[in-house]
Structure 1
Amino acid sequence: MPAKKTIANTTTKSGKSNKIPSALQAPRGVKTWKEAADWLKVRGIEDVECITPDIAGVPRGKMMPSSKFTSNTSLALPSAIYRHTISGEYPEETGDFRYDSRDSDIKLVPDLSTLSVVPWETDPTAQVICDIAGSKGENVPYTPRNVLKHVLELYRLKGWKPVVAPEIEFYLVAKNDDPDYPLHPPKGRSGRSIQGGQAYSIAGVNEFDELIDDIYHFSEKQGLEIDTLIHEEGPAQLEINLRHGDPIELADQVFLFKRTIREAALKHGIYATFMAKPMQSQAGSAMHIHQSIVEVNTGRNLFSNADGTASKEFFHFIGGMQTYIPKALSMMAPYVNSYRRLTPDMSAPVNNAWGYDNRTTAFRVPDSEPAARRVENRLPSSDANPYLALAASLGCGYLGLTQGLEPTAPADDSVNTKAIELPRGLLEAVAALEAEPAFHDVFSAEFIAIYAGVKRGEFETFMQVISPWEREYLLLNV
């Protein structure tokens, strides 16, 4: 007798119960368009959001009826969406940054393995992350998902596969209608605003029990897996750790988690922010990235020898990060605000050092068994586009592996009280990105030109705003 299929139930908008065959029960992803049509039908999905991350990591795309989604409809966007700033402006052409003179279309190509429901929508809605191709199907090298895919292809050609595990910090803040006023932590279930100094506090997490329940519920509905959730150092600052896995899958998860957490917070009348430094005098928010490399043929961790000792590749990877990440920092710290986090004595590295279980270094090697030997990059901030932050971190490690670069000696003591060893601001970081010829092959020259032009445009927009500091100290004194 054939195996009996497991049947699950779901409820459509009309209240009717649908039985879902076991082959379609997975909350996330299908393999074929036929499965996609069946997956949508049994869930009563009415609309599908076809989304893709722009340069900032903001979801862009189109929504359509599910029947149109499965009818081989061609989906197009203007290429200009990858050339505007976070404020929606189009910067002047500078350096190698140029606009497409025709403002031609690019195609959204759905990745069906990312198909999932949108659990906060009142109407039955699904979402799918899309890749970007040219109008004739050609590769578009400057889009974030494609930048990361290119880096992973470089590893594949060497017989290697990166494994990553991101950790994302964020703040919950009271609603703020006027950007001239500072942000403040929201009130928790106690009726009082939570204060700082609550790192790893269970009581701090419990202040927002109902919101966290919604985060877990929304995540489960989308097939997103949270490893752990903790309260961090800042007031109402939380951190979500994700399970290790494939870099594209993990970047997709971070992309969706940011959206999920914001929606859960809004449901409870507060904001969730991934700004790197939302509150003055408080710790910033990071996106730490744990990284290891395995051999595809053997599954062996490339960072460990057969006897359990650290391999030469392990040290070359660190050497590559030390050599190149300061030049790629703008991909991990993409805004003016990002550099406010990278200041001494504020729980963020300001150096280019590495060390064993040393949280004051930029590159920390956690204590682990040889099979789990990895390097944690502590420089990226949570405002970074996850695809670009992962591409930058892995790309710099790749250059170290292929060039045989040696690291410095590991730091034994605190190295966070010395002079800042990194680009101090956005323009300096962008100039370093453009000046490194090795990045043209790793990230593509076209991406670097577009990214640098957009970042210069964002800086010029920032310079148009007069800050409270200027009014405080210059108004009557100069």
Structure 2
Amino acid sequence: MADLKEFVKGLPEAARAYLENRRLDEVECIISDLPGIARGKAVPATKFARQDYFHLPDSIFYQTITGDWGEAAGDEGFIERDMILRPDMSTASAAPWTADWTIQVIHDAFDREGVPIPFSPRNVLRRVVEMYHARGWKPVVAPEMEFFLVARNLDPAQEIKPMMGRSGRPAAARQAYSMTAVDEFGPVIDDIYDFAEAQGFEIDGITQEGGAGQLEINLRHGSPVKLADEVFYFKRLIREAALKHDCFATFMAKPIEDEPGSAMHIHHSILDIETGRNLFAGPQGGETDLFFHFIGGLQKHLPSAVAVLAPYVNSYRRYVKDHAAPINLAWGRDNRTTGIRVPLSGPDARRVENRMAGMDCNPYLGIAASLACGLLGIVNEDWPDKQFKGDAYSGESDIPNVMGEALTLFEKATALHDIMGPDFARVYAIVKRTEYEEFLQVISPWEREHLLLNV
């Protein structure tokens, strides 16, 4: 027991505060798979305090969202080789919805020689971040998380409906920024705040978005890996808070017809590691070449990365004209109709917002892909198109609008593969192609209704 007490003393401050005067019972050892689902093992706390690592098979990264498998194991075949998973104790965090006193710890995956597994999403993001560090730059991101609170849906054949609010009426649509609408979900939001505080997370704000039961949580800017960890954790805590109140939280890109979709907008800036200066702003506060090259890289390479930012067939239903999601990669200042937005800010806070990513993407991979596109633009000195002024929905679409097209672009994007990792690109493409082919075997209600007797 002395070992366990010493172990608890070494935890991050929020985890220690959560466990104060309490006995730690269990540790959840977790890692993100390609979809962003937490995989791992739960072990007694006393055992975890004595172990340095545990094993999981590499096949967790070959699995589709339906539970099938992509043939991505490589030349040796599907032998399910064990990976070595080592804890990153800086991520130790409460699991306050559990019945006992439990913490979660995110792990990193290595092979038996200690080499990072190249298709583990956290390793992919760390690889991209290290490419910035090698140039003396520190990338900074701030994700925005949109999601819906919906009524319990136990029958996939039934449409998803908004949850019942505190007033006893279904959540209303088209009430963006309404405080009354936020109050409708008060008990759920209270638990989200409580869970986040127990986990040591700082929420920058919660607002009502345009959809029925749609909310947005903004996170404070910081390290890409740390913020991706937080989004990974947040998805789980939000789902758990919703379940306590007889509803579901969904991060589907487009869960309800005729309602806006849910995005994970990503704000980017780049700092000089030595000076801390924002490299998007020059000495006199003007916009730098590096700033424009970052935008140019997004414009040039995001079409090839859309398969990562929009990873499911449902994702492409979000890119609908006049429904709060971009349909092209125009860029503009303080313009929410463009795919790439430069928010109003002073020089020190100058940033570029990528509005393409859906909330259904894996946060590690979505942030990695966005940073990779910007880095390619900087390295190749890509210049963006002329700034767009006006309503960008009046322009033509220049992004893939179906999953198959997006996958084809990704499979050909060797420059993007070099940044994110060729092995990752190979595995991701195989798994997603398998998933897409699974979907194509499903006959939809629309087809039965309109084709059965009419063609």
**Fold equivalence (TM over 0.5):** yes
Matches within 5 A, 1:240-251: 240-251=217-228
CA distance in 2, matches of 1:285, 1:214: 21
2:44 counterpart letter in structure 1: P
Report what 2:51 is aligned to: 72
Write the distance in 2 (CA, Å) between the matches of 1:429 and 1:23.
45
1:263 equivalent to 2:219? Answer: no
Q: Deviations over 1:281-337 (max 9, x none)?
A: 110000000000000011110000000000010000000110001111111000000
TM-score, normalization by structure 1: 0.91
Query: Whole-Å Cα distance in 1 between the matches of residues 127 and 438 of structure 2?
Result: 31
Secondary structure, counterpart of 1:395 in structure 2: helix
Letter in 2 for 1:314: F
Contact residue 175 and residue 181 of structure 2 kept, 8 A: yes
Change (3 A) 1:199 1:215: same
How far 1:101 sits from its partner (Å)? 4.1
1:208-247 alignment, distance < 5 Å: 208-247=185-224
Which residue, out of 42, 64, 68, partners 1:89? 68
* SS of residue paired to 2:14: coil
Task: Show the counterpart of 2:27.
Answer: 48
Out of 341, 358, 361, the position equivalent to 2:318 is: 341
Q: In structure 1, what residue type is equivalent to 2:63? A: H
Identify the residue that residue 201 of structure 1 maps to in structure 2. 178
Is the Cα–Cα contact under 8 Å of residues 47 and 125 in structure 1 kept in the other structure?
yes
Distance 1:42 1:78 in 2: 37
Task: Report Cα offsets for 1:81-104 as digits up to 9, x if no partner.
Answer: 1001001101346xx976744321
1:70 match: secondary structure:
helix
Q: SS of the counterpart of 1:416?
A: helix
Task: Evaluate the alpha carbon distance shift between residue 84 and residue 346 of structure 1 in structure 2; reply closer, same or farther with a 3 A threshold.
Answer: same
Q: Cα deviations across residues 149-190 of structure 1 (Å, max 9, x unaligned)?
A: 000000000000111100010001100110001000011110
Structure 1 residue 466: Cα displacement = 1.4
Aligned residues of 1:79 and 1:100 also touching (Cα < 8 A): no
Which AA in structure 2 matches 1:328? A
- For 1:380-399, what aligned pairs fall within 5 Å after superposition? 380-399=357-376
Residues in 1 aligned to 2:347 and 2:130: alpha-carbon distance in whole angstroms: 26
Distance in 1 (CA, whole Å) between partners of 2:70 and 2:330 is 35
Q: For the residues of structure 1 that align with 2:90 and 2:100, how far apart are their CA atoms?
A: 22
Please tell me whether residue 125 in structure 1 is matched to residue 102 in structure 2. Answer: yes
**Residue 452 (structure 2) aligns with:** 475
Displacement after TM superposition at 1:28 (Å): 4.4
| AA partner of residue 225 (structure 1) | E
Aligned counterpart, 2:440: 463
Query: One-letter code of the match for 1:296?
Result: I
In structure 2, C-alpha distance between the alignment counterparts of 1:50 and 1:207, rounded to whole Å: 35
What amino acid is aligned across from residue 336 of structure 1 in structure 2?
V
The letter of the residue matching 1:55 is L
After TM superposition, the structure 1 stretch with the greater mean CA deviation from structure 2, 262-271 or 419-428, is 419-428
Shift of residue 72 of structure 1? 2.2
Deviations 1:360-387 (A, max 9, x none): 1110000100000000000000000000
Q: In structure 2, what is the Cα distance between the partners aligned to 1:419 and 1:73?
A: 54
Q: Which ranges of structure 1 fall in alignment gaps of 5 or more residues?
A: 1-17, 31-38
* Paired residue type of 2:31: T
CA distance in 1 between counterparts of 2:291 and 2:395 reads 26
Looking at structure 2, the residues matched to 353 and 100 of structure 1 have their Cα atoms a distance apart, in angstroms, of 44
User: Counterparts in 2 of 1:73-472, with a 5 A limit?
Assistant: 73-92=52-71, 100-472=77-449
Deviations 1:5-46 (A, max 9, x none): xxxxxxxxxxxxx9x99986711489xxxxxxxx97964111
How many residues align? The count is 450
CA distance in 2, matches of 1:21, 1:321: 43
- Provide the rounded CA distance (Å) in 2 between the counterparts of 1:101 and 1:23: 39
Displacement of 1:427 in angstroms is 1.4
Counterpart Cα distance in 2 of 1:381 and 1:97? 30
Deviation at 1:135, TM superposition (A): 2.1
RMSD: 2.0
Query: Which one of the candidate residues 21, 36, 42 is aligned to 1:63?
Result: 42
Name whichever of 236-245 and 468-477 sits farther off: 468-477
- Equivalent-residue separation in structure 1 for 2:20 and 2:341 (angstroms): 47
Alpha-carbon spacing, 1:247–1:193, altered in 2? closer, same or farther (3 Å): same
SS of structure 2 residue aligned to 1:355: strand
Distance 1:318 1:28, change over 3 A: farther
**Quick one: distance in 1 between partners of 2:422 and 2:9?**
46
Question: CA 1:57/1:417 → structure 2, altered by over 3 Å: closer, same or farther?
Answer: same
Please state whether the residue corresponding to 1:328 is helix, strand or coil: helix
Change (3 A) 1:451 1:428: same
Amino acid at match of 1:76: H
2:238 is paired with a residue whose SS is helix
Distance 1:202 1:98, change over 3 A: farther
Task: Specify the SS of the correspondent of 2:125.
Answer: helix
Counterpart CA distance in 1 for 2:451 and 2:61 is: 38
Q: Give 1 or 2: higher helix fraction.
A: 2
* Superposed displacement of residue 472, structure 1: 1.6
The change in CA–CA distance for 1:434 and 1:468 in structure 2 (over 3 A counts) is: same
- 1:468 deviates by 1.5
Specify the code of the residue in structure 1 equivalent to 2:45.
S
Q: Which residue number in structure 1 is paired with residue 14 of structure 2?
A: 27
Task: Map Cα deviations across residues 388-439 of structure 1 (whole Å, 9 max, x no partner).
Answer: 0000000100011111110000000111133321011111111111101212
Percent of matched pairs sharing the same residue: 50
Give the Cα–Cα distance (whole angstroms) in 1 for the partners of residues 260 and 417 of structure 2. 34
Distance, in Å, in 1 between the alignment partners of 2:216 and 2:9 is 34
